[in-house]
Structure 1
Amino acid sequence: MNKSHSVIALSGLVALLGGTDLLIKAISVGLLGLILLILCGLLLAPLRRVLQSNALLLAALLIGGVLVSVAAVLLQLLSAELYASLALCLPLLLLPCLVLALDPRATALGGLKPGLIFAALALLLGLLREGFGQATLLHHADWLFGPTATGWQLSLASLNGVQLLTLAPGALILLGLLLAAASFFHHDERP
């Protein structure tokens, strides 16, 4: 993973910390971040040839703002409960779009790889935070999948939840551990 992709993926850190306490919320934030970064990269590509860096940053702000607003409205239509639980995190998904605009090497699909990294990190954090924090999985699945998913919740009875993981400081600690593990297993031999 190159450094600019990491910076883009982690620029949505607050959205990751705030929106991944449940697996359903993490799936939603991850998918929204992925779609947002791909669309932002596609829409910024033709503008890179004609705009200077300051104007491109403003264009990214406007494009990202419109995309986040559309995503918020669509999420409200899909599920009012899911929207209410993610309302504070949605505007923060604009930050990766701004970082994407600052990358001079970004192509039309420049948002794909960081979007996938963001989505995978959101999914992993949501899975670990809900599993170890609340000792459940798929709590409130009906928010995303409708009333048929009401009985999908899995209870991990053998675990006692560690409540720290459901809070933002626990998410930050968990993210630090995941990044340390990734760094340990992906070390370069270069000096």
Structure 2
Amino acid sequence: MYIGLISDTHGVFADDVRAFLEPVDQIWHAGDFGTLQCARDIAAFKPLIGVHGNCDGLDVRQEYPAFQNFECEGMRILMTHIGLRRGSYWAFNPHQPMYDLRAKALLDSYHPDIFVCGHTHIPQVFSDKRNGFLFMNPGACGFQGSGDVPRLALRFHIVSGEISGLEKCELPRRSI
């Protein structure tokens, strides 16, 4: 399975993001779609698994849950929007990640192989050896945010319980 991983679109599914995700089989969205129309545009483009984020309205929350727990090619995936404690991502240490309390409860309950979140707009991929999973935050691919931080998206393959070919796409930030 070829996966595209995005987050924090904030209402914009831009053409350059679409081009990067064109070859994938499925898109995972880690929250803050921004609008239900944006979520529908992504779902019309490729099969979509997503969660709502803290900036999403009731319409998005009615369509997308706070977390998703699913399997893909022999791997257990847990996805939620807020994964790290507020402020901890600014001085982040992958050897001692400070997970949000709700995320930690989900992690303890589901024991995923991959934990996906968004929210920080900061891309991070690392192996959490203490908890036994791969942490993935794709950063933000929408136009909101600091002008010097690129928009980001990830894609990778999952085959028989193994991840390979991880690619990060950095796109210029520009005004809407």
**TM-score, normalised to structure 2's length?**
0.27
**TM-score, normalised to structure 1's length?**
0.25
The structure richer in strand per residue is 2
Larger Rg belongs to: 1
